[in-house]
Structure 1
Amino acid sequence: MSGLSRFALALVIIGALNWGLIGFFQFDLVASLFGGQDAFLSRVVYGLVGLSALVCLGLLFKRDEETDTVSERRRVGNPNLGTEFGQEPDFEKKRDAESKKKNRRM
């Protein structure tokens, strides 16, 4: 996600929180901070939130890079399903070899 997209998303979240305050408590935080709804700075903030919503609308329809890389993987025709633990070692041969070594030493 680019820096512009992150900034736009942050402004949209601020705008959504402001709308939540208006809906639940009838309190417009932006208007109270910047001198009412008709104040120049309030109108700038409202305008930036609106433009940010347009940028985030583009993010809504953007393909997700993470899921795209997963779906573009090539399938292997004959995968090797063996693992390093696929064959059990023959412990009897090991014991026989060790006992022969001990017998030779004696």
Structure 2
Amino acid sequence: MNVLERIALVLIIIGAINWGLIGLLQFDLVATLFGGGSQAGAFARIIYTLVGISGLVSLSILFKHDHEPREKHHYQPQS
């Protein structure tokens, strides 16, 4: 996973936690932290936009074909 994909994943996790809070508690953490005033409201919109873009970027992870064999770790007792 490259750096862009890792950043996208972190933003998706933030977005998922925020949506979970909205669904369970009707509490929008991003809006609470950045939603007051015009400049802070603009910052909240930027966060929402980045989370959305991260979802689109992560589509590439979903459809990525991993052609490299994964290393298998076998336990080998020492003699």
TM-score norm. by structure 1 comes to: 0.59
> Aligned equivalents of 1:35 and 1:52: distance in 2?
21
Alignment-mate amino acid for residue 63 of structure 1? H
Gap runs ≥5 in structure 2: 71-79
Alignment-mate amino acid for residue 60 of structure 1? L
The DSSP-based 3-state class of the residue aligned with 1:32 is helix
> Aligned equivalents of 2:65 and 2:54: distance in 1?
19
TM-score norm. by structure 2 comes to: 0.78
Please name the residue that 1:48 is paired with: 50
Q: Answer with 1 or 2: which has the greater Rg.
A: 1
State the identity as a percent.
Answer: 58
Count of aligned pairs between the two proteins: 67
The DSSP-based 3-state class of the residue aligned with 1:19 is helix
1:14 counterpart = 2:40: no
Taking the TM superposition and a 5 Å limit, the aligned residue runs for 1:64-103 are: 64-65=66-67, 68-69=68-69
Gap runs ≥5 in structure 1: 71-106
Please name the residue that 2:65 is paired with: 63
